[in-house]
Structures are given as structure tokens and as C-alpha cells.
């Protein structure tokens, strides 16, 4: 029994809130949380929070009849309501931190970044702005011109100008069309985001709702379009709402902690995953721990080291020489050719380790590659199982024998669709213990490395 502590749950993951409360042995705070008909969130906190230590549990997951942004706004409103209700301290507990992972480049369904040439039908959208959007000194900036009836005539002439002006610092998208494949051959060097891939890469981290919009979108000639990164904003919004402390788990980028001016406790799902390996994978000492991309290598090596197990790494090859010598003929060949396995997995059990599985592209491709390299059995151990888009079908059709996730987001629906292929690990004891320790002012570092 813990005193002077209030656990307030959002709508995103009621089951986790229940089990955290059960572990702590206290009831949930009474609250009304819903939506008015106009779409505004409605929040009433029924129990007093004056002078209390309030923990608000809301995970970054859209579901339970509301969208992700609704849940996030609910969280901010609850924080603010507790603050104005004279709570002593408000801690936001976000098992999955929303917007912690945003790719730098937009992707389409096929996964190719949208820096290729504008299609023919897009030319009509060109305006008078055919000079690069960052003009040099003395360069006149033409006014915008709305497309009149003779728009097609003007644009065809303008396109020529845009090609003529194309030798700026960044070649405008129009020229890449002309170069076709050679653009990639020459252009990959200047293009080395770890997540971004050339057309041979074909990795989708996200699927979009409306793909026709994405493919129709074109930046102004000469301007390389970019995607807003909302991580800092989300951090600032939480602080602005009044959060005094944030508890989360397995942040995709640990740097997100630095976005906050308040303390952030980033818990690890690693001990849980490790325990699962030791208890459920027979002969795990002979298995290989695999990181499906270079970014997750640290996470995977930490587990491999502490278990004394071999480690291998898959990395995505954007510009390796042999890819360009021999043009891949089949799409599957192309997909696998862009991934390279470093290490040996033949006839061994493979354990893929990652922090998040969203559309499932990375791990299913990795699994395919491992199978091709002769792996006997493939497990995937992932902290956050979001499974958005067609992830479930994709994973069910893949070479993965087992996928293990935590309940940082609600998993009961996923469990029903996956059946025995999915194992869910319970994180509520970790969060309950973190809440208890933070409340009593004890160190939580023991949670980072227990066995």
C-alpha cells in the first residue's frame, strides 16, 4: 500500500493501468474521460489530487475508439487538470512514447523515398517559381503566378528554365528523371541517412493513409522537401502542460531524453526480453542474437553480451558495388540484396532484437534474409508491438517462427489475430516498481540492470 499517490489512467491502455494499480495495491483515480460530440476531449477528475503525487498512464497508441492524437491531447489535458487541481507533482507515464520515431524522408508504399522525378501529369502544378527557392544575391524572385487557361503552355516553357537552372547546389528533382538509375549510382553518396534507402532498398517504416496524395506531392523545383520531426514538440508540449517528470520505456532514440527540461526515466524492456530468452528458448547459448539494422546494434549487443551469446548484424546496403554491377531481376532478389548479414547463422536459432515493430517491414525482411542464410528457427523479440497497417498479415506470412512483444501497447487484439505465434510479456511490474521508487525518492537504476 502506497500513500499519497494517485494513478490516473488514460483511455489508451486501461488494462495496463489496472495491473499497475493491482501491483501497487491502490485503486485507480476516479475520472471521466471522453469526447464531446463536437470532438473536444472532456476530462473530469473526480477524486482530490491536492498535494498528491500523480502518475498519469497513457501510451502512444491509437485505439480503443480514439486516435493517437486524441490520446495525446487527453494526456496533456489530464496533466493540466491535475496541475490546476494543486497536485504536488505530475508524472507522465508513457510506456510507448508517441512521435519518438519519425523518418527523415517520406516514404511511399513501395518504400522508395520521394526524391525521384515528378511525373508527367505533375508538370501542370509548376508555377512561375522555377528558380531555386533559396535565391542567391541579386537573383530576382519572381512572383507566383496562378495557372490560367494557358497554364500548360507556360509550364512547358518553365520546365525548360528549371532544367537550365538545374546546376545549383542541389540538383532539382526534374533532372533526376533524366538520369534515371544513374542518379542513384551517383547520388547515393550524398544521401546517407541510416533509415533512408535508394530504390533498391525498398524499406517502409510507415504506411500512409492516403497514398495518392503522397505520390502526387511535389516540392518546389530546387527545394528538397523534408518532413517535420515532432519529437521535440511532443516533449515541449508535455512540459508545457505541466508534467514534472516523464517515465517511458525503450525510447527509439535515447536522445529524446535530451529534449526535455524535466527528468526522464527511460526504463528498459531488455531484462524482460533476456529472461524470456533464458526461460523459453531451448539451447539459447547456441543461438545468435541479431540486430535487424545498424541503429539497433547497441541494444542487441547488450543482450548478447550479458547472455554470452553470439551476435550478428543485418545492415542495409545502399551503395555496395556488386549491387550495381548485376542488376537484380526479381523484386524479392532486389529486396534481399539490399540487406547484408554480418555474421554466420547457418543451422542456428536466430533471435532478432528491436525496439519497435510498426508495419513489420524491417523484421520480416530480416527474417527472410536469415532463412535464406540457413537459420533453423527465427524469434523476434521487440519491446513495442504497434503492428499498424498490414503488419499482422505480413508477419503471419513471414518466416518468423515466434514474435515476442511487451504490453506497452494493448496486445489482446493482436494476440487474437496472431494466435500462438505471439507471446506477450507483462511490463506492469516494471512500471509499478518505477512508480513506487520514484514516489519514495529511491533510486530506480536497479531497474536498469537486474537479472
Partner 1 sequence: MSAEMANEIKLISGRSHPDLSDKIAKRLGIEVARTISLNYSNQETSFTVGESVRDEDVFIIQSTATGDVNEGLMELLIIISACRTASARRITAVIPNFPYARQDKKDKSRAPISARLVANMLQTAGANHIVTVDLHASQIQGFFSVPVDNLYAEPSFLRYIRENFNPEDCVIVSPDAGGAKRATSIADHLNTAFALIHKERPRPNVVGRMVLVGNVEDKVAILVDDMADTCGTLVKAASVLKENGAKSVLALVTHGILSGSAIETLNGSVLSALVVTNTVPLGDKVERCPKLRVIDISPTIAEAIRRTHNGESVSYLFTHAPV
Interactions with partner 1, residue window 85-104 (CB under 8 A): 85, 98-99, 102
Choice between 227 and 346, CB closer to partner 1: 227
The CA angle 278-280-282, to the nearest 5 degrees, is 80
Choice between 59 and 200, CB closer to partner 1: 59
Residues numbered 325 to 344 that lie near partner 1 (CB under 8 A) are: none
Choice between 203 and 311, CB closer to partner 1: 203
**Which residues partner with 245 through β-bridges?**
91
Single out the residue of 12, 17, 24, 129 in contact with partner 1 (rule: CB under 8 A).
129
Residues numbered 32 to 71 that lie near partner 1 (CB under 8 A) are: 36-41, 43-46, 48-49, 61-62, 67-70
Sign, Cα dihedral of 361, 366, 371, 375:
negative
Residues numbered 264 to 293 that lie near partner 1 (CB under 8 A) are: none
**Which residues partner with 246 through β-bridges?**
92, 264
Residues numbered 197 to 256 that lie near partner 1 (CB under 8 A) are: 206-210, 213-214, 217-220, 223, 225-230, 232-233, 236-237, 239-241
Count of CB atoms situated within 10 Å of the CB of 310? 16
Single out the residue of 23, 77, 117, 317 in contact with partner 1 (rule: CB under 8 A).
77
Sign, Cα dihedral of 66, 68, 73, 79:
positive
C-alpha 114/C-alpha 111 separation (Å) is: 9
Choice between 36 and 412, CB closer to partner 1: 36
Q: How far is CA 350 from CA 112, 200, 295, 370, in A?
A: 28, 25, 18, 8
The CA angle 256-265-54, to the nearest 5 degrees, is 115
Q: Least separation, in Å, of the C-beta of 64 and partner 1?
A: 12
Among 207, 195, 305, 197, residue whose Cα is nearest residue 252: 195
C-alpha 253/C-alpha 276 separation (Å) is: 24
**Which residues partner with 93 through β-bridges?**
57, 247
Among 227, 246, 224, residue whose Cα is nearest residue 235: 246
Q: Least separation, in Å, of the C-beta of 225 and partner 1?
A: 4
Q: Least separation, in Å, of the C-beta of 359 and partner 1?
A: 6
Residues numbered 357 to 416 that lie near partner 1 (CB under 8 A) are: 358-359, 386, 388-389
Contact between 149 and partner 1 by CB under 8 A: the answer reads no
Q: Least separation, in Å, of the C-beta of 167 and partner 1?
A: 19
Q: Least separation, in Å, of the C-beta of 73 and partner 1?
A: 4
Amino acid at each position: 500500500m502506497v500513500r499519497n499517490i494517485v494513478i490516473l489512467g488514460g483511455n489508451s491502455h486501461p488494462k495496463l493501468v489496472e495491473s499497475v494499480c493491482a501491483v501497487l495495491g491502490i485503486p485507480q483515480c476516479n475520472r471521466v474521460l471522453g469526447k464531446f460530440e463536437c470532438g473536444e476531449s472532456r476530462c473530469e477528475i473526480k477524486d482530490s489530487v491536492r498535494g498528491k503525487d500523480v502518475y498519469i498512464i497513457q501510451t502512444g497508441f491509437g485505439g480503443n475508439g480514439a486516435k493517437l492524437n486524441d490520446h495525446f491531447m487527453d494526456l496533456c489535458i489530464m496533466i493540466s487538470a491535475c496541475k490546476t487541481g494543486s497536485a504536488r507533482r505530475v508524472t507522465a507515464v508513457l510506456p510507448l512514447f508517441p512521435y519518438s520515431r519519425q523518418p527523415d524522408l517520406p516514404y511511399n508504399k513501395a518504400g522508395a523515398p520521394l526524391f525521384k522525378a515528378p511525373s508527367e501529369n505533375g508538370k501542370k502544378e509548376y508555377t512561375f517559381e522555377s528558380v531555386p527557392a533559396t535565391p542567391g544575391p541579386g537573383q530576382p524572385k519572381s512572383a507566383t503566378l496562378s495557372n490560367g487557361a494557358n497554364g500548360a503552355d507556360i509550364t512547358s516553357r518553365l520546365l525548360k528554365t528549371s532544367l537550365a537552372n538545374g546546376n545549383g547546389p542541389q540538383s532539382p528533382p526534374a533532372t533526376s528523371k533524366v538520369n534515371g538509375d544513374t542518379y542513384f549510382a551517383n547520388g547515393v553518396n550524398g544521401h546517407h541517412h541510416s533509415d533512408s534507402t535508394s530504390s533498391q532498398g525498398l524499406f517502409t517504416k510507415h504506411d500512409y493513409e492516403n497514398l495518392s496524395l503522397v505520390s502526387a506531392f511535389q516540392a518546389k523545383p530546387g527545394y528538397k522537401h523534408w518532413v517535420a520531426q515532432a519529437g521535440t514538440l511532443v516533449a515541449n508540449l508535455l512540459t508545457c502542460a505541466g508534467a514534472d517528470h516523464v517515465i517511458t520505456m525503450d525510447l527509439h532514440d535515447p536522445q529524446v531524453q535530451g529534449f526535455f527540461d524535466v527528468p526522464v526515466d527511460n526504463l528498459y524492456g531488455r531484462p524482460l526480453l533476456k529472461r524470456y530468452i533464458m526461460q523459453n528458448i531451448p539451447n539459447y547459448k547456441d543461438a545468435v542474437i541479431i540486430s535487424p539494422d545498424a541503429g539497433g546494434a547497441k541494444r542487441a549487443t547488450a543482450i548478447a553480451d550479458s547472455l554470452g551469446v553470439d551476435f550478428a548484424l543485418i545492415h542495409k546496403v545502399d551503395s555496395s558495388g556488386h549491387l550495381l554491377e548485376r542488376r537484380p531481376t526479381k523484386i524479392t532478389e532486389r529486396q534481399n540484396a539490399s540487406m547484408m548479414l554480418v555474421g554466420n547463422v547457418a543451422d542456428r536459432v536466430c533471435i532478432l532484437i528491436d525496439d519497435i515493430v510498426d508495419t513489420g517491414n524491417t523484421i520480416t525482411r530480416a527474417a527472410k534474409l536469415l532463412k535464406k542464410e540457413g537459420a533453423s528457427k527465427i524469434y523476434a523479440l521487440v519491446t513495442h508491438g504497434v503492428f499498424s497497417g498490414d503488419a499482422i498479415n505480413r508477419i503471419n506470412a513471414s518466416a518468423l517462427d515466434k514474435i515476442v512483444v511487451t504490453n506497452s501497447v494493448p496486445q489482446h487484439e493482436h494476440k487474437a489475430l496472431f494466435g500462438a505465434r505471439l507471446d506477450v510479456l507483462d511490463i506492469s511490474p516494471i512500471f509499478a516498481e518505477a512508480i513506487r521508487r520514484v514516489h519514495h525518492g529511491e533510486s530506480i537504476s536497479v531497474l536498469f540492470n537486474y537479472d
